Structure 1
Amino acid sequence: MYKYEIIANEIRNKIKANEFKINEKLPDEKTLSNMFKCSRMTMKQAMDMLVSEGYIIKSRGIGTFVRPQYGPDNKNKRYSNHPNTFGFSSNFEGYDKKTEVKEFKVIEANEEIVDKLQLKRGEFVYSIKRVRFLNKKPIILEQIYMPIDKIVGLNKEVVENSLYDYIENSIKIKIYNADKIIRAKSANNDDINYLKIEEGDPIIEMEHVVYSQNNSPIEYAIIHYRGDSYELHFVTKKE
């Protein structure tokens, strides 16, 4: 984990613990960098991360403030995450989490996967199907493809835990960004089977390609979220 991520986690936890209160003005970045013994650039990265997650808001010429939180605690048994963050584990800290791997194999990439991951015909990828549980309820169905020549050493034990933690900390590939498309759909047979819902129930589908720091695609995934108990939390800002 990078220094700015550690600092962002500490500030996020202070907000959750109400040590930094809603609408409270935070110290400036120079003061915070002294508090956390880091460079101004590292502190800026940490604050930008918290802005993107919706925990704080920067107002030019006025300062940085803690935003009112509209997370899952206020949503009556609904779960929420912010699509600008990476990973199930980081999005749902504090929940009872579980992952069931339904498929883990190596396949030859089809035309769509070749296009999304910028591969050559005949190259192979990991094909991973996982169900993610929150508080013993199946919430997310993931179909993931990763190039075997980039994500080396992957095994089922890794897949049962955090793929992104493995990518960044074990094989030292820095995740940079992702292109995401979000759409509404009706449940298909896999959704009915794995998410325990009914035919025609609503699904939130997210299709994404994740890129490393050198702009190389390292993951193509189609992710289905239960529409009856899940929401995505966006924060928009007018420049």
Structure 2
Amino acid sequence: MTIRKAIELLITWGLVIRRHGSGTYVARKDVHHETANLTGLVEVLRQQGRTVTSKVLIFKLMSAPPAIATQLRIHPGECIYFSQRLRFVDGKPLMLEDSYMPVKLFKNLSLLHLEGSKFDYIEKECGIRISGNYESLTPVLADKQLAQQMNVPEKTPLLRITSVSYSDSGEFLNYSVMFRNANEYQVDYHLRRLH
């Protein structure tokens, strides 16, 4: 009985589908991101022929709170950009992203840059090579505010990803907290063992 209820819940969330006479299967994700190296979401999806757009909800200058300063390896109170973007794939909301970037590295960051690819802006316009990224992934359920912003029902499973990118010279470029719709998004990692 408990398993039946759990399966019904997974069906409601869109994580599994039931085929009559056949069984219950994991639902195929709409957005597939396979990665063996550091590639931005926009780059991957454009290679797949998908249309990625960004709606900037907030863009402002602020003083870095201690927790954000620690992530960016800067002093508390230093000037940073804060942006919040809703990312769409083929017109469907996929991800909500809060992002923090040090002003001292990106003096001309604009709304237009944020409507495109941050990776492109950092590497092509600023000439800074992104060397690596630290990521942490946690499953969460959408609260009322997140559900409204991402146009999903409350308690929809989301993937919370915190990400810190750094340059060749060891500077920390960007700290982001992202919520991705787990019903629509799949990431496959190919990680190589160093010998």
Secondary structure of residue in 1 paired with 2:189: coil
**Structure with more contact order per residue of length (Cα contacts < 8 Å, sep ≥ 6):** 2
Question: 1:180 touches 1:207 (CA, 8 Å); kept in 2?
Answer: yes
Secondary structure of residue in 1 paired with 2:71: helix
For residues 156-181 of structure 1, the C-alpha deviation after alignment (integer angstroms, 9 at most, x for no partner) is: 01111111111111111110001111
Secondary structure of residue in 2 paired with 1:181: strand
Matched, 1:130 2:85: yes
Matched, 1:195 2:147: no
Aligned-pair distance for 1:130? 0.5
Matched, 1:89 2:58: no
Question: 1:85 touches 1:91 (CA, 8 Å); kept in 2?
Answer: no
Matched, 1:80 2:32: yes
Higher helix share: 1
Distance 2:65 2:44 in 1: 31
Question: 2:141 touches 2:157 (CA, 8 Å); kept in 1?
Answer: yes
Aligned-pair distance for 1:87? 1.6
**TM-score with structure 2 setting the length:** 0.79
For residues 137-158 of structure 1, the C-alpha deviation after alignment (integer angstroms, 9 at most, x for no partner) is: 0001111000001112001011
Unaligned runs of 5+ in 2: 1-26
Aligned-pair distance for 1:77? 5.0
Structure 1 outlier segments of 4+, above 3 Å:
236-239
Question: 2:137 touches 2:159 (CA, 8 Å); kept in 1?
Answer: yes
Whichever residue aligns with residue 200 of structure 1, its letter is K
Whichever residue aligns with residue 91 of structure 1, its letter is V
Distance 1:220 1:152 in 2: 17
Higher strand share: 2
Report the identity percentage. 24
Unaligned runs of 5+ in 1: 1-74
Question: 1:87 touches 1:164 (CA, 8 Å); kept in 2?
Answer: yes
How many residue pairs were aligned? 165
Compute the RMSD of aligned alpha carbons.
Answer: 1.6
* Aligned residue number for residue 17 of structure 2: none
